[in-house]
A and B are shown apart, each in its own frame.
Chain A
Amino acid sequence: MVLEVDDLVVRFESADGRPITAVDHVSLRIGRRETLGLVGETGCGKSTLARAALKLIPFDEGQVKLLGRDLGDLGGEELRSVRRHCPMIFQDPRGSLDPRMTVGRIIDEPLKVHRLGDAAQRAAQVREMMDLVGLPEELHGRRPVQLSGGQQQRVGIARALITRPSLVICDEPVSALDVSIRAQILNLLADLRDTLDVSFLFIAHDLAVVRHLSDRVAVMYLGRIVEEGPVERIFSEPRHPYTQGLVAAILRADNQARERLQLVDRLAAGDLPSLLNPPAGCRYNSRCPYAVDDPCRLIPPDTELVGDAGGDAAGHRVACHLHGQITPPSSEVTLSESWEKG
Chain B
Amino acid sequence: MPVNVVDTDRSASRLRAPLTAVNRRLSTIAAGRAWWGFAAFLALMAAWAIAPDFFAPYDAERLDPRNRLLGPFSDSTLGSHWAGTDSLGIDLFSQMVQGARLTFYIAIVATLLGTGIGVTLGMLAGYFGGFWDRLIMRLGEAQTAMPMFLVAILLLSLLGPSVTILIIVLPTLVWPIFARVVRAETLQIKQATYIEAAVATGCSTPAVLGRHVLPNVVPRILVLFVVEIGHVMLAEAGLSFLGVGVQPPDITWGLLIADGRPLLTVAWWLTILPGVLLSITVLSLNILSRRFEQYAGAAA
**Cα distance A100–B198 in the bound complex, in angstroms:** 13
Report B-chain residues with C-beta under 8 Å of the C-beta of A56. 196, 199-200
Given contacts A98-B212, A100-B215, is CB(A113)–CB(B202) below 8 Å? yes
CB of B202 within 8 A of CB of A83, answer yes
Shortest distance from the beta carbon of B21 to any chain A beta carbon, whole Å: 35
Report A-chain residues with C-beta under 8 Å of the C-beta of B216. 98-100
Question: Which B residues, 173 to 198, have Cβ-Cβ distances below 8 Å to chain A?
Answer: 192-194, 196-198
Given contacts A95-B193, A97-B194, is CB(A88)–CB(B215) below 8 Å? no
Given contacts A80-B202, A100-B216, is CB(A113)–CB(B207) below 8 Å? yes
Judge if A31 is at the interface, Cβ distance under 8 Å.
Answer: no
CB of A98 within 8 A of CB of B198, answer yes
Question: Which A residues, 51 to 81, have Cβ-Cβ distances below 8 Å to chain B?
Answer: 54, 56, 80-81
Question: Which B residues, 15 to 53, have Cβ-Cβ distances below 8 Å to chain A?
Answer: none
Judge if A32 is at the interface, Cβ distance under 8 Å.
Answer: no
State which size class the interface on B falls in. 10 to 19
The secondary structure that dominates the A interface is loop
Given contacts A98-B212, A100-B215, is CB(A87)–CB(B200) below 8 Å? yes
**Cα distance A40–B84 in the bound complex, in angstroms:** 82
Cβ-closest chain A residue relative to B199: A56
Given contacts A84-B202, A95-B192, is CB(A90)–CB(B215) below 8 Å? no
Judge if A110 is at the interface, Cβ distance under 8 Å.
Answer: yes
Judge if A6 is at the interface, Cβ distance under 8 Å.
Answer: no
Which interface residue of B192, B198, B201, B207 has the most chain A CB atoms within 10 A? B201
A96 interface neighbour in B197, B204, B211, Cβ under 8 Å: B197
Number of contacting residues on A, CB 8 A?
25
Question: Which B residues, 188 to 230, have Cβ-Cβ distances below 8 Å to chain A?
Answer: 192-194, 196-204, 207, 211-212, 215-216
Judge if A252 is at the interface, Cβ distance under 8 Å.
Answer: no
A110 interface neighbour in B193, B196, B202, Cβ under 8 Å: B202
Shortest distance from the beta carbon of B103 to any chain A beta carbon, whole Å: 34
CB of A96 within 8 A of CB of B193, answer yes
CB of B202 within 8 A of CB of A81, answer yes
Inter-chain CB contacts under 8 Å: number:
55
CB of A110 within 8 A of CB of B201, answer yes
**Cα distance A83–B212 in the bound complex, in angstroms:** 18
Cβ-closest chain B residue relative to A92: B193
Cβ-closest chain B residue relative to A85: B202
Cβ-closest chain B residue relative to A84: B202
**Cα distance A94–B19 in the bound complex, in angstroms:** 40
Given contacts A99-B216, A100-B216, is CB(A83)–CB(B200) below 8 Å? yes
A90 interface neighbour in B196, B202, B203, B211, Cβ under 8 Å: B196
**Cα distance A98–B216 in the bound complex, in angstroms:** 9
Shortest distance from the beta carbon of A35 to any chain B beta carbon, whole Å: 19
Cβ-closest chain A residue relative to B214: A100
Judge if A41 is at the interface, Cβ distance under 8 Å.
Answer: no
Report B-chain residues with C-beta under 8 Å of the C-beta of A283. none
Report A-chain residues with C-beta under 8 Å of the C-beta of B198. 98, 109
Shortest distance from the beta carbon of B218 to any chain A beta carbon, whole Å: 8
Report A-chain residues with C-beta under 8 Å of the C-beta of B203. 80, 109, 113
Shortest distance from the beta carbon of B190 to any chain A beta carbon, whole Å: 13
**Cα distance A113–B192 in the bound complex, in angstroms:** 20
**Cα distance A95–B198 in the bound complex, in angstroms:** 12
CB of B202 within 8 A of CB of A114, answer yes
CB of A54 within 8 A of CB of B194, answer no
Which interface residue of B197, B203, B216 has the most chain A CB atoms within 10 A? B197
Cβ-closest chain A residue relative to B195: A98
**Cα distance A92–B191 in the bound complex, in angstroms:** 13
**Cα distance A92–B203 in the bound complex, in angstroms:** 20
Shortest distance from the beta carbon of A101 to any chain B beta carbon, whole Å: 8
Cβ-closest chain B residue relative to A162: B201
Shortest distance from the beta carbon of B101 to any chain A beta carbon, whole Å: 34
CB of A90 within 8 A of CB of B197, answer yes
**Cα distance A97–B211 in the bound complex, in angstroms:** 13
CB of A90 within 8 A of CB of B201, answer no
Judge if A260 is at the interface, Cβ distance under 8 Å.
Answer: no
Shortest distance from the beta carbon of B266 to any chain A beta carbon, whole Å: 57
Report A-chain residues with C-beta under 8 Å of the C-beta of B197. 88, 90, 96-97, 156, 159
Report B-chain residues with C-beta under 8 Å of the C-beta of A80. 202-204
Besides A80-B203, A90-B197, A113-B201, 12 other A-B contacts (C-beta < 8 A) = A54-B200, A56-B196, A83-B202, A84-B202, A87-B201, A90-B196, A96-B193, A96-B197, A97-B197, A98-B198, A100-B216, A109-B198
16 contacts between A and B (CB under 8 A): A56-B196, A56-B199, A56-B200, A80-B202, A83-B200, A83-B201, A87-B201, A95-B193, A97-B197, A98-B215, A99-B194, A99-B216, A109-B198, A110-B201, A113-B201, A159-B197
Residues of A within 8 A of B (CB): 54, 56, 80-84, 87-88, 90-92, 95-101, 109-110, 113-114, 156, 159
Residues of B within 8 A of A (CB): 192-194, 196-204, 207, 211-212, 215-216
